[in-house]
Structure 1
Amino acid sequence: MSEIYIGVMTGTSMDGVDIVAASFDPLQLHATLTIPFDPDLQDELMALTLPGDNEIDRMGKADVALATMIGQGINQLIEKNNLNRSDIKAIGSHGQTIRHRPEHGFTLQIGDPNLISEITQIPVISDFRRRDMAAGGQGAPLVPAFHQALFQHASIDRVILNLGGIANVSILPANQPEAVYGFDTGPANILMDAWCERYTGHPYDENGDWAAYGTPIRPLMDRLYTHDFFAKEPPKSTGREDFNIDWLDDQIIDWRNDISYNELEDIPENIQATLAKLTVRAIQKAIYRSGLENGEVYVCGGGAYNSHLLEQLRWRLRKHHWSVQPTDVLGLSPTWVEATAFAWLAMRFIHKQSGNLPAVTGANGFRVLGTITAN
């Protein structure tokens, strides 16, 4: 049997832990599992993304709690699917990012790999981002190398769009492996989910129906788009440090104090529609700046199930004849792309192969990513 690698991903949206068991050449998913967060742990992880009191003790406790959850989830995946533990070469565990500051040369993911290895009795590859940062890179996004390996086409230009908490694109020009690049485009679910939960009590806007009911507020969108991140040239990456509900509240207050403020527009669904349009606008700009005339956009991440967002993106890209579809038409469900990417990165580490793309992260060269915690 081919080597099996387990990939573990918990993203910026913090809606759960995705776990896959995969083998490569060709890609095969042997098992999948999503574990929802305990609400208290979710709240603590979200709080740790911003400065607060007693951070080190709180981080240490969350580090242990998350690792325990991941380790037990992996054991559940193995036992439920009758996988042979001896066939599993390694676990690729991304961990939960609680601080990402490439401008200061550091990034921090928690979810102790020592504890995961102890619980599962399988080697764990973790800490994928800091090797790239040490080489002068952003340490993110890391999935474009996997997107290239899996999705690049010989004759069709493609863009892989990940709609997680943050949106990022992988630009895959046809038959040009050296021309592949990618970057974060800005917020996606991170703001829409928070706004939706505040006003509807639901953790996300199912199908984008609430946003579709509203009308975007142009002056507010223009204000949001003045964030410094949107003006930066790639390579670039971002996270909750830049885009969070407190930042959004500050922008809304400023808009309400502006001469352009119209109280008739100031209803929650209109602001949700504005956030959706902000996401689409940044993605459109990213695709157009690639210089590719037309091609195929394939969407992964939780946002792939936001039909309103995808329809808005199709509308914005219609003049250049870009198709927009979820990645499952290519054989990999949008839900499992990122977790599978970290199984792939674990495989690359074990075989001493690079996992980054310097054109994406800005690193000084190709690097083998991660560190190993042996069982």
Structure 2
Amino acid sequence: MTEYYAIGVMSGSSLDGLDVCLCRFLSEQGWSFEIIKSETIGISPEITTQLKQADQLTGRDLALLDIQYGRWIGNVINDFLKGLSLPISVIGVHGHTVFHLPGQQLSMQIGNAEAICVITQAPTAGGFRGMDVLMGGQGAPLVPFGENQLLPDYQAFVNLGGIANVSVHTHQIRAWDVAPCNQILNHFAKQLGHVFDNGGHLASSGQMDMPYLAYLRSLEYFHLPPPKSLSNQWSAQVLSNAPENPADGLYTYSHFLAEQLANDLSQVQGKVMLTGGGAYNDFLIQLLKEKVSPDLEILLPAPQLIDFKEALIFAFLGLMRTLRLPNVLSSVTGAQKDTVSGTLHLPG
């Protein structure tokens, strides 16, 4: 039995915090895991604003923000590890996505892994999408490999983060981005004076806006077969014909999102795990349960896994990179082959 300790770091497109997860992985006829410590650290308003505007920066300013954000993450990890003395094999960092243009073989995440390595003095892996898009893939989603290895009892997974994605683990592992999720729901909630729609209560007070629903259904992306993935900027298309009443926007978009998720899960039988911040949206989850086949069992795991599954898996992807094992699946992304992805930095 071989034991490893790794840290996963994840900040989603909704920028509602930096998830840091310290994990213990055991290799013995397969992989098992334990989450030792996990925490969501708030990102300062200054950095949040800079990250939201990162795609509009000059090349120099973007490079400087990359280093600044990486150094901040490194210091966060050092604070997170105070009082612990475990041998860290690797830190796996997702980073903040600035550009995601797989058709042009570009997917750029900032939060400089080399800066994190210097600050923490621990091996650090980042840039997990780059190799895959250069091999003709979407570079996303990345988590299905970890789901398959660490959570083999489920037939499908739905992550309701800034962007909702689905992965199906049947004969062949496939995954894709379904639609913007918390990016849109939080936008409408903020128009109503809330950071997010707690439990979906704001959405439940709205009414269906049929022209908006028809517009959403008409968007080409929702009719494309996988593999496919979305950039953060794509949410602007979803919002361009939004209703004047934000509550109606929430109600309509929640119904539309549940509809899309149910369609994408229509060929699945068995257990489906829901994770991400949207898993706490009772209104959305109830809509999804009403729309899916009775052959599906929609399950919410313990809150720690709801909140930190993606960070857990980035720790695992980083570990696979240090072991020089494939960690991104071509069946998911459409790349020419499975890849050992991520750029690994070692302390001097």
Fold equivalence (TM over 0.5): yes
* 1:298 CA drift (Å): 1.0
* 1:64 CA drift (Å): 2.4
**Which runs of no fewer than 5 residues in structure 1 stay unpaired?**
256-265
Q: Which residue of 2 aligns with 1:62?
A: 65
Distance 2:239 2:330 in 1: 36
Pairwise mapping of residues 190-209 of structure 1 onto structure 2 (< 5 A)?
Answer: 190-197=183-190, 199-209=191-201
Write the deviation string for residues 46-103 of structure 1: whole angstroms up to 9, x where unpaired: 1224xx3x43233123212311221111101110xx3215x10111111110110112
Q: Which residue of 2 aligns with 1:250?
A: 240
Distance 2:165 2:16 in 1: 18
Task: Choose from 135, 138, 157 the match for 1:160.
Answer: 157
**Which runs of no fewer than 5 residues in structure 2 stay unpaired?**
27-31
Q: Which residue of 2 aligns with 1:259?
A: none
Task: Choose from 321, 336, 351 the match for 2:295.
Answer: 321
Distance 1:320 1:162 in 2: 20
**Contact 2:262/2:288 (8 A) holds in 1:** yes
Q: Which residue of 2 aligns with 1:224?
A: 216
Distance 1:310 1:323 in 2: 12
Task: Choose from 349, 353, 362 the match for 2:325.
Answer: 353
* 1:167 CA drift (Å): 0.5
Distance 2:22 2:80 in 1: 8
* 1:249 CA drift (Å): 4.4
**Contact 1:12/1:239 (8 A) holds in 2:** no
Tell whether 2:268 aligns with 1:268. Answer: no
Alignment-mate amino acid for residue 349 of structure 1: R
Aligned partner of residue 337 in structure 2, secondary structure: coil
Q: Which residue of 1 aligns with 2:12?
A: 11
| Greater mean alpha carbon deviation, residues 320-329 or residues 138-147 | 320-329
**Contact 1:20/1:32 (8 A) holds in 2:** yes
* 1:250 CA drift (Å): 2.4
Aligned partner of residue 27 in structure 1, secondary structure: strand
Distance 1:225 1:104 in 2: 27
Distance 2:205 2:51 in 1: 32
**Contact 2:141/2:177 (8 A) holds in 1:** yes
Q: Which residue of 1 aligns with 2:228?
A: 236
Alignment-mate amino acid for residue 187 of structure 2: A
Q: TM-score, normalising length from structure 1?
A: 0.87
Alignment-mate amino acid for residue 325 of structure 1: L
Write the deviation string for residues 268-314 of structure 1: whole angstroms up to 9, x where unpaired: 211111111121111111111xx23x322210111111111111100
Q: Which residue of 1 aligns with 2:116?
A: 116
Alignment-mate amino acid for residue 65 of structure 1: Q
Write the deviation string for residues 232-271 of structure 1: whole angstroms up to 9, x where unpaired: 1100000212113xx344223xx8xxxxxxxxxx522111
* 1:327 CA drift (Å): 2.7
Q: Structure 1 residues 171, 346: CA separation in 2 closer, same or farther (over 3 Å shift)?
A: same
Q: Which residue of 1 aligns with 2:280?
A: 305
Distance 1:228 1:104 in 2: 19
Distance 2:192 2:307 in 1: 24
Distance 1:249 1:237 in 2: 18
Q: Which residue of 2 aligns with 1:263?
A: none
* 1:191 CA drift (Å): 0.7
* 1:215 CA drift (Å): 1.9
Alignment-mate amino acid for residue 313 of structure 1: L
Distance 2:284 2:182 in 1: 10
Distance 2:42 2:298 in 1: 29
Alignment-mate amino acid for residue 240 of structure 2: D
**Contact 2:100/2:106 (8 A) holds in 1:** yes
Distance 2:194 2:13 in 1: 18
Alignment-mate amino acid for residue 245 of structure 2: I
Pairwise mapping of residues 78-93 of structure 1 onto structure 2 (< 5 A)?
Answer: 78-79=81-82, 82-85=83-86, 87-93=87-93
Aligned partner of residue 23 in structure 2, secondary structure: strand
Percent pairwise identity? 29
Write the deviation string for residues 206-226 of structure 1: whole angstroms up to 9, x where unpaired: 111100111222221120222
Aligned partner of residue 12 in structure 1, secondary structure: coil
**Contact 2:184/2:239 (8 A) holds in 1:** no
Aligned partner of residue 38 in structure 2, secondary structure: strand
Q: Which residue of 1 aligns with 2:136?
A: 136
**Contact 1:136/1:364 (8 A) holds in 2:** yes
Distance 2:61 2:198 in 1: 32
Write the deviation string for residues 138-185 of structure 1: whole angstroms up to 9, x where unpaired: 1000001111112223xxx62110000101111022xx4xx1211111
Distance 1:58 1:99 in 2: 15
Distance 1:217 1:189 in 2: 19
Alignment-mate amino acid for residue 276 of structure 1: S
**Contact 1:138/1:237 (8 A) holds in 2:** yes
Q: Structure 1 residues 214, 4: CA separation in 2 closer, same or farther (over 3 Å shift)?
A: same
Task: Choose from 252, 257, 262 the match for 1:284.
Answer: 262
Q: Which residue of 2 aligns with 1:363?
A: 335
